[in-house]
Chains A and B, each alone.
Chain A
């Protein structure tokens, strides 16, 4: 059994979105390597609470890597930088005894900080509402097997649909672009026959909304793919561009800086 760890934590504290934030230093002592990263934060929070101080606010729920609640930049890397891993699935055995760990919220213009490590990701909701759906009312669906779907297409759609909406892609992008998020949704739905009827309009509406919400342009940095805990691929961005370009052929769309496919 490996020994317990003593760590120095530098954590971003910010009372609310209007307040100015700053890093505070905390000592985390006797941390078991079997703990998850969030359990380590729980542990620190318990100590803070007992000392009469305010615990660190951070978002979390499932702690299994699926709900997309958690996320912070740890030592400069979204979700701590372990490939294909959300922050809640990072365990303390990956940290060296005596090391310093810097923890800060997603930094991206469209996501304002609400408190400490919690940011407001509601712009993702607006993107989704702009077209991230198939327009079908309850009760009107045809028999499920009446439309076969090529297995490869279903698999590719599933790869794209694996997005958990955590926001790491936006946080990792130097331009705070939401292209990976949008393209994953557009791809997921466009790959399935059920979603094809609206594919052009969907791409058009979601991309236009992305601009309105202040997300930056994609300049092919690919940082988003590296940061994605669900391994969503930038190939989806290329597919979005194809869909988008198709949309552009059918209707004039005022849009700047779309990288060529």
Chain B
């Protein structure tokens, strides 16, 4: 633990870059990646030749770091990471890049995620080849093969055990849409009501259309460098206060607990101890929202409310802008778009810089940003960020 506490505040996120969020980018994932990286490097006030490391997570759907390096003309990169993994790996990539910088292996690393998750490789599973995993043989023959189905199974268990309601799931969709209305990047900005939510078509019960995130063509990039170096750059420094990983359970782990507990419950104590803060210290939380339910279970498993009370807690308004713990201030995957985790970190950075315009959480100093809470893949990761004093 001493080592990890020594890591506190040593690495900064100095730049963020986006492409447009769209349903059809009309360009390759390589082009999306180089555009977002160029934007992030410019945002940091650095030159492309300052970049000496690249990292991404992929599920066989995007340009490799080794390809991007050569496209950008980076000579002699010192550190590359190509991590196989979905949403549960998103914050892991950034955490590992930060460790590489803290260890002195690289000075400036860009983490990116570039996907044509609507026009080429649909993230929801429609028309996509079956996942090459040992578990597929026990599921696909029964028509059980897509993330919305897997998360719906978990959501149903939570509804049965704790009485979580459709209206509470709907509150997540409605509230986040309200946040997206204040975000000019967001794909879905027109407000919806709870009635709109309830009238939206079934995807897989208990999930309706508005329970499911958008499938998006987009790239987001983040520039990481040492806190010392970031101090001299043009943007307010946002420091990585804590990083943690968690294992959790898959459906096929032995001794697994019931279906209502995510791996975030194992990760959260480590993360908060490492960062030296608790849930009450978090000013804004960007929680992985592949589906509405994922937000509710994380509110519980990260300790913002008691186990089983995520639904009533969200419904109380606590998680809306102006509430005690605003969640997914950009609209999240449900309404801004789906950049497989990195847009959550980028939004946390904007909040801590104080540059989130109409959706700014006043005085935000400490943010939590999380990856998929480890239900399906059996791993998760999360970051706590803080504004430099």
Q: Do A and B bind each other?
A: no
Interface, chain B (partner A; CB < 8 A)? none
